[in-house]
Structure 1
Amino acid sequence: MPRPKPQPDWIGQTIGNRYKIESLLGQGGMSSVYKASDPNLSRTVAIKVIHPHLSNDPQFLRRFEHEAAAVARLRHHNIIQVYDFNHEDNVYFMVMEYVSGSDLKDKLKALSSQSQKLPLEETIRIMTAVCEAVAYAHEQNMIHRDLKPANIMLNPKGQPILTDFGVAKMLDGMDQTVTGAIIGTAKYLSPEQAKGERPDERSDIYSLGVMLYEMVAGRPPFDADTTVAVLMKHVNEPIPDIRQIQSNIPEALIRVIEKALDKDKNKRYQSALQMAVALKTLNLDGAGYEENEAAKQTVASFRMQDHENERAKTDESIRRPITPPPVIPATAGSKSNSSLPILIGIGVLALLLLIGAGAFLAFSFGSSPDEEPETIAEATTETVEQTAEPVTQEEPVQEPEESNIAEVATEVEEPAANPELPSSQGMIQIPEGTYTVGVDTADRDHAASQEVSLDAFWLDQYEITNAQ
């Protein structure tokens, strides 16, 4: 059945009440592509106008709207940008970024007519960028399914721009004879696509391998008079040895091509990113790419620019030090286990120091044997007895306090009949009871967990200093 004729000439007309058609860029079985101007934004655009026979197919239109919306979300400098898709009456169209220049198919054809090939450095540069773009699209769950040189535009700077994402899926299930979609595409289809199986990311990788083979050798690996014959070769025949066509190809590059073109998709590169890294790390003068640690690190760090901010946040969270678990406070009415031994130690040490200081001062003042040193002992004994049961008094009574002992010691010549205990202000009472000290897991700086029994006692709330 012959291919349907495209829509009547749109040149000079306005579509969508906005875009003015200027010239025809190309046409295929699904659409015609026009160069147009967008007066609202003062820019040149490309418009893909769907042929009438497809515009009358409700199934196709549903896929067209779904895929156009998905493709419009792609944001990559090597993927053509879709600005809009709409319809005017029964005319459906897609508005895209306009890329001046030619496609890769025309470039390879022009070189072949002069018995020339792309320099290896340029081939690797172009294919690395294309692999990056495909890897990005795969991350967005978009499989191209129709990768070929005709779908790669080269802008004036020589940068590749990948086009026609989603088109193959729009045509899925359509009569391929009517659409003409298989014609010209069979040379780049994977074996699983040739067998009618559902394609995945690795199918795109096979197509990338076919393009790389063609760019290096000057022709695709398989060709025949009919589409079916080409498809059968992809399924059944081994890839022709590229060395027989081009003898000076580095072995490292040959290994990349052969891996991408493996009949078994499980033995190909499992992602387009892996293939991009393999190309980017090629050593054309030496042994070439190896799956060593350096290459793995390159894979880990080689990501698309669109994800830089997200990775930076992730890295920052990874680098953030782990905070140790907080110490669980003790039950109400007691200090934490770790603080209790310190408070006890401070209290005992202060008590011993002040007792010693009092004795030293007493002897230093030269007390005669006629004086009654027992006064110190008596006063101390009395104080201890009162402190043993502080709760029996209406006002909490302190244990022997350094200020009390010091006062008795320095005023031994005229002891008070009934020495007055200081106020409990500035002191805290440690209740009697059994306390757990230490930690569950002992180490160099911490003792093992154990229980100690203590009587009630009073303790200064603040440390004693020389100034006091």
Structure 2
Amino acid sequence: MNYLTSGISGVTYRVGPALSGLDGGFYRGFAGTQEVTLQIAPAGTAAVAALRAEARLLERLDHPQIVRLIDRGRTHEAFFLVFDTHAGRPLVEVVHQFDLSLSTALNVLVQAVDILAVLHQAGIIWGRMRPQAFWIDKGGLLKLVDLRGAGEAITDGSLTLSEATYLAPELSADQRHTERSDLYAVGVLAYELLAGRAPFTGSDPTELALKHLTEPPPDVAQTRSDLPADLCDLIRRCLSKTPEARPASALELRAELAAIWERVRVDEQGRMIICPRCQSAVLPARRCPVCGAQLQSPGATPPPPRKRRWLPMLTIGVSILALIWMLFGMGHTSSDAAALQPTRTPAQATAAATPLPTYEPTPLPTATAVPTPKGALTAAAGDMADADIDLIQAHIVFDNEWLVVRIDVVGRVEGGVADRRYQVFIDVDDVASGDTSIPWQQMGADYTVLFRSGDQGGMALHWNGTSWESIGAATVETNGGTLVMRVPATWLGSPETLRYGVLAVNGTASLVDYIPARGSDPASAMREP
């Protein structure tokens, strides 16, 4: 079964490898050069009826976090559904293989409840919620890909082991499905995300269903010390044997989870440290969850949070500067490049002699760039590693007394807070005059304008020879995939010409895009007469 042809659209799909991490029947597929996801049921089996029922449910739904049905078909061998292509990995792999921070786990839970709310508003009670039904992409966006069995009665032999792990006790007791049955499954998923294991385990679905029905759930507060009391109480209510003791609806549960998540996120941001290898902002731990680098000696306790006395945006600028320092190896090794280094104190010279880490976040670079006329930098749109941050074009112009920076990206500019950072480095000298902050060919940056997704504005900073110092706020406008930043041209000394390069960082996924490509000349912008 290498090819499947739809009798509805006439399109032929090449069947690729099976997709692991789901409950079976999912394959990568290809329609020419377009990648899709195929869900296949062998002809003459009960799975065909399940896929037909799932297709009817999906046709009622239109939401960016629910897979979109684009085609279907049948042959003598199989019945199949065709979905828009997946991106990322199965949620079950993230749950079982990665140590999640508390805020990350709560983010996943809030998204899962959002999806449940969409189903409930459409009159669909799931009853079989499980992480094996979700994908999660590089930016942390959750997507429902499997609705098989939604709303069906629980009968002997109809449950898989994964479904039984999250089964509400009333469903195994032949009671009817309610919205609160799905909220019980959220409680199980929350316990698993936070404790690293499900509250009940068993060797077969019947054993698991019996435990959900008769055994009290373990207390999640006993599994880790950093869980807020109100979060533990909320999980206990979700795992109540009595449906009436659970939150009344997905929207009510979402409101409680979101309030806890926001409080935890703010607290975690205040305790973040920078990994010396990959430069990701992470919580103190023995090893970096992004690249695995050792952050502290075995047995050591995390350092207490430092009081932040600098402007938040300045801190971000220094962090991104450190990332660029690592990525590009700090400039040329020739004697000419060495002559451009600013005078250092003995302490600075000692620090510079320390070997720099050789690790680079992968994949790098994600785009090839060629300077184009009229001061625009353009990257290849189809050469993307992370659609949330990929740069397509950057352009700087003088508009009267303003310097206007326009950046076009693929994906969402206004995504999660602090997930993506955009930074424009500007050289106003005819030649590099000692600034070594950006070691692109023939360029040393004098200024930088940066913006962090989710913030109301940006920040302009000047390189004073040893560090970046703030010179004022930049106004920011976003429209779809376009980001526009403005600063008074006089802040840059009113140059007639300047050169620039642009960097985009997704610290959560440890991915970086930049133009121009390393080794290419920066673009120039000129003041119109």
TM-score of the superposed pair, with normalisation by structure 1:
0.51
Cα distance, 1:217 vs structure 2: 0.9
- Structure 2 partner of 1:449: none
Which ranges in structure 2 are unaligned for 5 or more consecutive residues? 268-529
| Aligned mates of 1:173, 1:100 — CA distance in 2 | 32
Is 1:252 the counterpart of 2:230 in the alignment? yes
Q: What SS is found at the alignment partner of 2:36?
A: strand
Q: Give the direction of change, closer, same or farther, for the CA distance of 1:214–1:36 in structure 2 (3 Å limit).
A: same
Q: CA RMSD in A?
A: 2.8
In structure 2, C-alpha distance between the alignment counterparts of 1:188 and 1:66, rounded to whole Å? 22
**Bigger strand share:** 2
| CA distance in 1 between partners of 2:212 and 2:194 (Å) | 19
Aligned equivalent of 1:36, options 19, 25, 29: 29
Counterparts of residues 218-367 of structure 1 (less than 5 Å)? 218-282=196-260, 284=263
1:7-18 equivalences under 5 Å are: 10-11=1-2, 13-16=3-6, 17-18=10-11
Q: CA deviation at 1:190?
A: 0.4
Among candidates 140, 152, 157, match of residue 134 of structure 2:
152
Question: Which residue is 2:67 aligned to?
Answer: 80
Residues 30-73 of structure 1 show CA distances to partners (whole Å, capped at 9, x for unaligned) of 8521211234xx6321111113342xx5xx75564344122122
Paired residue secondary structure (1:153): strand
Give CA deviations for 1:153-183 in whole Å, capped at 9, x if unaligned: 1112221111212x1149757762xx6x422
CA distance in 2, matches of 1:35, 1:143: 28
- Which among 87, 99, 124 is matched to residue 142 of structure 1? 124
Is 1:196 the counterpart of 2:164? The answer is no
Match among 45, 53, 67 for residue 36 of structure 2: 45
Alignment partner, residue 96 of structure 1: 83
Distance 1:43 1:217, change over 3 A: same
Q: Distance in 2 between matches of 1:236 and 1:52?
A: 39
Distance 2:25 2:173 in 1: 29
Q: Secondary structure at the match of 2:161?
A: coil
Match of 2:149 among 149, 168, 176: 168
After the TM superposition, which residues 400-439 of structure 1 pair with which residues of structure 2 at under 5 Å, given as runs?
none
Partners in 1 of 2:63 and 2:152 — Cα distance?
A: 24
Secondary structure in 2 matching 1:83? strand
Separation of aligned partners in 1, 2:213 and 2:121: 28
Deviations 1:78-127 (A, max 9, x none): 2111222332245211111221221111112212xxxxx31111111111
Select the structure of larger CA radius of gyration.
1
TM-score by length of structure 2 reads: 0.46
Separation (CA, whole Å) in 2 of partners of 1:32 and 1:213:
28
Secondary structure in 2 matching 1:269: coil
Taking the TM superposition and a 5 Å limit, the aligned residue runs for 1:425-464 are none
Q: Which amino acid in structure 1 is aligned with residue 58 of structure 2? A: V
Are the counterparts in 2 of residues 192 and 203 from structure 1 also a CA contact under 8 Å?
Answer: yes
Classify the secondary structure of the residue corresponding to 1:243: helix
How far has the Cα of 1:208 moved from its partner? 1.0
**Contact 2:90/2:134 (8 A) holds in 1:** yes
- CA-CA distance at 1:269 after TM superposition: 1.2
Confirm or deny: 8 A CA contact 2:54 2:149 kept in the other structure.
Answer: no
The answer on 1:26 being equivalent to 2:19 is: yes
C-alpha distance in 1, partners of 2:198/2:24? Answer: 26
Query: Matches of 1:174 and 1:259 in 2, distance apart?
Result: 26
1:292-346 CA deviation, whole Å, 9 max, x = no partner?
Answer: xxxxxxxxxxxxxxxxxxxxxxxxxxxxxxxxxxxxxxxxxxxxxxxxxxxxxxx
CA contact (8 A) 2:41 2:48 kept: no
Would you say 1:185 and 2:150 are equivalent positions?
Answer: no
| Corresponding residue to 2:97 among 110, 116, 127 | 110
Find the partner of 1:209 among 181, 187, 212: 187
2:166 touches 2:185 (CA, 8 Å); kept in 1?
yes
Identity among equivalent positions (%) equals 24
Contact kept, 8 Å, 2:238 with 2:247, in 1: the verdict is: yes
Q: 1:252 to 1:169 in 2, by over 3 A?
A: closer
Separation of aligned partners in 1, 2:199 and 2:166: 9
Aligned residues: 262
The 3-state SS of whatever aligns with 2:162 is coil
The 8 Å contact of residues 21 and 34 in structure 1, kept in 2 or not, is answered as no
2: CA distance, partners of 1:230 / 1:216:
20
**Aligned in 2, Cα 1:168/1:156: closer, same or farther, shift over 3 Å?**
same
Counterpart pick for 1:125 among 84, 87, 107:
107
CA-CA distance at 1:206 after TM superposition: 0.6
Q: Once the 2 structures are TM-superposed, how far is the Cα of residue 27 of structure 1 from its aligned partner? A: 6.9
Is the partner of 1:168 in helix, strand or coil?
coil
> Partners in 1 of 2:79 and 2:153 — Cα distance?
18
Question: Counterpart of 1:68?
Answer: 55
Counterparts of 2:229 and 2:21, CA distance in 1: 38
Counterpart Cα distance in 1 of 2:24 and 2:5: 15
Q: Is the 8 A contact 2:161 2:204 kept in 1?
A: no
**1: CA distance between counterparts of 2:205 and 2:156?**
15
- Distance in 1 (CA, whole Å) between partners of 2:178 and 2:131 is 20
Name the CA shift for 1:285/1:213 in 2 (closer, same or farther; >3 Å): same
